[in-house]
Amino acid sequence: MKYYTIKNTEQSFKFIEKGSKFIGNVFHVNNIDEIEKSLVNIRKEHHSANHNCYAYRLGINNDEKFRYNDDGEPSGSAGKPIYNEFIKQDISDILLIVTRYFGGKKLGIGGLIKAYGYCAEQTLALCKKREIIFGQKIKFKCSYTEHPLLLKEFNKIKIIKLTQDFKKDISIILEVEFKDKSKIIENIKNTTSGNVCGEYI
């Protein structure tokens, strides 16, 4: 499976709607610490702004972590529209903050949803995307005698990632496409006469 993220660059987009200035800032992030650091920096930079609304998303599917925050705007009018752009574009490992300087005229719930969503969309449009491919991770433990047998079976499928730890025995973490996960476990079990059994992790 796959999703997209942005390359490790920061982008900014600005526009004015009925006197209110909206500023979108987007960051590639890998963890909560990086998210918090970027939020602190933007809040310092725009300390006089009325709102610093944001959404972030890490990972995808069962590994997904996400949050959106309206920062004082009416509930559901700011953070959620930003997050919805992530879903539309199948993009993750990202933080997008939209800063608003109030211009004196209220936009209403519908107007806010449109403005925050538009700012997020246009900010993302400035970013270069890259593809992230991920699959099922499987752990194997084998002897040095059995190791060539495993490698032979691995060569029959598409491998996303392979890491090996050579100690008294060999520990292997294999990442494969989801469609191949059952087949590779069964093939390894058969070729080693049941001595090596894979474990999903």
**pLDDT, tens digit only, all 201 positions of the chain:** 889 999 867 789 999 999 999 999 999 999 999 999 999 999 999 999 999 999 999 998 878 999 999 999 999 999 999 999 999 999 999 999 999 999 989 999 999 999 999 999 999 999 999 998 888 999 999 999 999 999 999 999 999 999 999 999 999 999 998 899 999 999 999 999 999 999 998
Inter-axis angle of helices 181-191 and 147-154, to 10 degrees? 150
What phi and psi values does residue 60 have, to the nearest 5 degrees? -160, 160
Cα angle 136, 137, 141 (rounded to 5 degrees) comes to: 140
List beta partners, residue 136.
176
Q: Class of the 135-200 domain?
A: alpha beta
Question: 2-132 is classed in which CATH architecture?
Answer: 2-Layer Sandwich (3.30)
Cβ atoms of 13 and 126 within 8 Å: the answer is yes
Maximum separation of any 2 CA atoms in the chain, in Å: 75
Which pTM value belongs to this model? 0.78
Residues of the chain with CATH 3.30.230.30: 2-132
Question: Which segments within the chain are labelled E, that is strand?
Answer: 2-6, 11-17, 20-28, 51-58, 65-69, 94-101, 129-133, 136-142, 159-166, 170-176, 199-200
